[in-house]
Structure 1
Amino acid sequence: MLRPSHALATLLAVALPTTGFAATSPQSFKGEYTVSFLGLSVARATFSSRYDGDTYAINGTVSAAGIAKLFDDTKGTISSKGTISGQQMRPQAFRADYTSGKKASVVDIRFTNGGVASTKVVPEPGKRDPKSWVPVGDGDLRAVLDPMAATVIHADSLDKVCGRTVKFYDGEMRANLSLTYASKGSISVPGYKGDTVTCKMGFEPVAGYRKGRKALEFLKNKSRMMVTFAPVGQSGVYAPIRATVGTQIGPLTISARRFEAVE
């Protein structure tokens, strides 16, 4: 998987409102999130999304918070843009810029015709052991979504949000995220009060990872991952409003502090 600063973008992608649809007039949305571990705040994120016709643009900031700042004062920006065809997101570019202390890092992914055209990671990953590393092939990078676009669900109703698999690429690892129905409920946060649906999320690494890595094996075989979706306006699009991810040392929770359409 990506190094810690890059992994923050991947983790937050599980629960960010990167909503997309063919709007008849420009529309914008805002989401503010808190990431907590064992009940302690460790990161915060704010994202703004704009949709105009068949195009979308998303910009956000993420930063370490609370006790996490004592160990890794990571700050960064994330951006994603692309087009919308029917109910399909077609990313054009994704970029994440981070600083962790004095160390800077970048992930830059460009797309063409629904597939990955190029990937730039700075600093470059170290040498991989061919005996344990599962390389990413050209076929793995077709019809994939970046960490932002991967969170978008187009559906006719809450009942049809789950029951799908998302092909996900974060600049190094290709994985499949499967969503199966778990329950319905309701939630109230600033900007939204109403019905939700919760999906159980499965994680299946495909390529771009080291075989036998304990953290990945845990996510694949033992972790309990739940994602709760809420509708964004009357768009027919559903975005995560809460997520929990079981890790080897405790649960990680991502919660929306604000989830709203803005003028």
Structure 2
Amino acid sequence: MLQSAVLGAGLFAGLASAVVAVPADAKTTKVGGVYAVSVAGFRFAEGRLSLIVQNDAYSAKLDMHSSGLGRLFSSGKGNAEATGWLRRAHVTPARYDLRSNSGKRDATKVSMALSRGAVRKLAVSPKLRKVPDRIPVTKRHKRNILDPLSAVLFPANGSEAKLDASACKRTIPVFDGWTRYDVKFSYKGTREVKNPDYEGTVVVCGARWVPVAGHRPHKVSVKTMADNRTMEAWLAPVGDLPLFVPYRISMETNMGPLVVEARRLRMVGEQKQAAAINE
């Protein structure tokens, strides 16, 4: 479930301690907060994601752990890190690493290096089991993709993050190390939100999950996800950047509504003169 939360929405922020080399006069924006993950109203996990954008480079880190009711079933925890560039309304990832452990099974690991949107090096554990009905992942499925953590960055198609249908006008191609899928977004409207650190307007997008490769198309879980019409992503603008990040992700499941929502969300942007930032 920890990995699913990273993939599906990937979306949970908290300003982590960091030492980041920054060129003099580099414009730096930080996003941080805490996201609660709940099913049927019961919290079972918490996520913290730090995002630092320096000019056109980004660095993101996500930490997740069991929380609330989830502690009764698992001592699971996981973390993911991603780096890359935001250029011309495009996200271009360079590196992605994932480590997660449920406490009852072997750790899940992904190490991925990318160049110009294509996977150059990949190591995953465990390997996908070979079965006749699985759609094979080929080299073309590893080109022009985003990793699951970089996929939570929504660059605007222009010089500012407009709170209109343009925020949702996108299809995100994701490769997680095992499977390749698309997430297609559509505009549904806007909402006003408020929490201790963030208050403002968010754009509400509908979302559809479309399997491409690495999946077994006749499995019930794959069909259920592909047929789900209840997925939503609420996108919050990041300061004065032409960029959005998710405020809330939700979908209906057979266990009740799955919701990932910001409990705290902080955004800080400033002109840095120092050679390094120490938080």
Same fold (TM over 0.5): yes
Write out per-residue CA displacement over residues 146-205 of structure 1, whole angstroms, 9 at most, x where no aligned residue.
Answer: 111112212241111012111111111111111101121110112211111101101110
> Are 2:262 and 1:256 aligned?
yes
2:78 and 2:183 map into 1 onto residues whose CA distance is: 25
Q: Which ranges in structure 1 are unaligned for 5 or more consecutive residues?
A: none
Q: Match of 1:72, as an amino acid?
A: S
Q: CA RMSD in A?
A: 1.9
Structure-1-length-normalised TM-score = 0.90
Q: Match of 2:57, as an amino acid?
A: T
* Counterpart residue number, 2:114: 111
Structure whose residues are more often strand by fraction: 1
1:50 and 1:187 map into 2 onto residues whose CA distance is: 23
* Counterpart residue number, 1:70: 72
2:128 and 2:221 map into 1 onto residues whose CA distance is: 19
Q: Secondary structure at the match of 1:7?
A: helix
Alignment counterpart, residue 188 of structure 1, candidates 185, 194, 200: 194
Q: Match of 1:243, as an amino acid?
A: I
1:59 and 1:222 map into 2 onto residues whose CA distance is: 28
**Identity rate, percent:** 27
2:60 and 2:228 map into 1 onto residues whose CA distance is: 33
Contact 1:223–1:247, Cα closer than 8 Å, also in 2? no
Write out per-residue CA displacement over residues 203-224 of structure 1, whole angstroms, 9 at most, x where no aligned residue.
Answer: 1100011121111211111341
2:152 and 2:13 map into 1 onto residues whose CA distance is: 7
Deviation at 1:88, TM superposition (A): 1.2
* Counterpart residue number, 2:174: 168
Contact 1:16–1:239, Cα closer than 8 Å, also in 2? no
Deviation at 1:140, TM superposition (A): 1.3
Q: Which ranges in structure 2 are unaligned for 5 or more consecutive residues?
A: 15-24, 270-279
Write out per-residue CA displacement over residues 29-77 of structure 1, whole angstroms, 9 at most, x where no aligned residue.
Answer: 1021000001000110111111222211111210111222222211122
Alignment of 1:82-97 (within 5 A): 82-97=84-99
Alignment of 1:91-240 (within 5 A): 91-101=93-103, 103-126=106-129, 128-130=130-132, 132-155=133-156, 156=160, 157-159=162-164, 160-240=166-246
Contact 1:215–1:248, Cα closer than 8 Å, also in 2? no
Q: Match of 2:177, as an amino acid?
A: G
1:251 and 1:75 map into 2 onto residues whose CA distance is: 22
